[in-house]
Amino acid sequence: MLIHGLGTPQRSWDPVARLLQPTFRVITLDLRGHGRSSVAQDYSIDAYIEDVLAVIDAVHVRRPLLVGHSFGALLALESAARRECRAVVAVDGGLPLQRPAEAKDRHTFDTEMRRPHVRLLMAVSTLLGRGVRLSPDQMWQVIQETEDREQALDSIYARLRCPILQVLAERAEPVPWGEEMHAAAKTAADRLYLTHSHVGQVWLDSGHAIPLEQPQQLAERIVTFAAAHSTP
C-alpha cells in the first residue's frame, strides 16, 4: 500500500506504482480531503490512520507492506503499530525530529518555517490539480499535530517488530530552515538506524519529493527490501 503525503493526491505515486505493478498488487488511496476523497469534519491523525486501516480491511490484505511518503510515512508507522504488517518503508518522513536550536520557541519556528510550508503545500496542490481540499487553517492544524506525533515516534519504532526501511533524500529543500531540518532528519535517522536492528537506511540523490524525482530508484529499493523480507 502506497500512502501519499499531505497536500498531494494518490496519483503522486503513479510513477512508482507503474514500476511496482509487475511484482506486487499495488494499492493506493486518496486520504480524506485529498484527490477524489470527500471532505471531512475530522482531520486528526487518528482519523487518517483509521482511513488507512479501513482500506486495508476493505481490500482484504493480510500483513501488507506499507510505504508512506512524508506525512504518509507517519501514518504507515502508526498503522503498523495497530495492525500486523509485513514491513514498512518510510520515505523521507516518519522521523522524531527536533526543532533547530536557532528557533528558540515554537512561535518563531512556526512563523518562519511551518507557515511558509503550508503555503508551499497549497501551491503544489494547485499545480497537481485536486490535490487537497483542506483549508490553509486545517492544513496548519494537521502539520502542528504531525509535529507533536513525530516526537512520540521513538516509542513506535521500539514497539514495532516488523522490518522498517528509511528511504531518505540527500538534498535539503530550498525553504526557510531547510538545511537545519535536513540535518535534524539525518541525526534522527542515524540514531534510529544505530539503535534498532530492524531499521534499515538508504539515501537517494533527491529532494523531498522522492516518488516524483526518483521513482525508478525508489521502486528498486522497495522491491529489494520486500524480497529480503518475503516470509509469509
pLDDT per residue as tens, the chain (232 positions): 999 999 888 999 999 999 999 999 999 999 999 988 888 999 999 999 999 999 999 999 999 999 999 999 999 999 999 999 999 999 999 999 876 554 445 555 555 455 565 555 555 555 555 567 788 888 889 988 998 999 899 999 999 999 999 999 999 987 777 898 899 999 999 999 999 999 999 999 999 999 999 999 999 999 999 999 976 5
Place of cell 531540518: 181
- Contact (CB, 8 A) for 143 and 67: no
Q: Can you tell me the distance from the alpha carbon of 181 to that of 97, in angstroms, rounded to the nearest whole number?
A: 8
* Number of helices followed by number of strands (H, E) in the chain: 10, 5
Q: Where do the structural domains in the chain lie, given as residue ranges?
A: 2-228
Q: What are the grid coordinates assigned to 14, written together?
A: 503513479
- What's the CATH fold of domain 2-228? Rossmann fold (3.40.50)
Q: Can you tell me the distance from the alpha carbon of 209 to that of 91, in angstroms, rounded to the nearest whole number?
A: 9
Tell me the H-state helices in 129-177. 136-150, 153-159
Q: Can you tell me the distance from the alpha carbon of 225 to that of 218, in angstroms, rounded to the nearest whole number?
A: 11
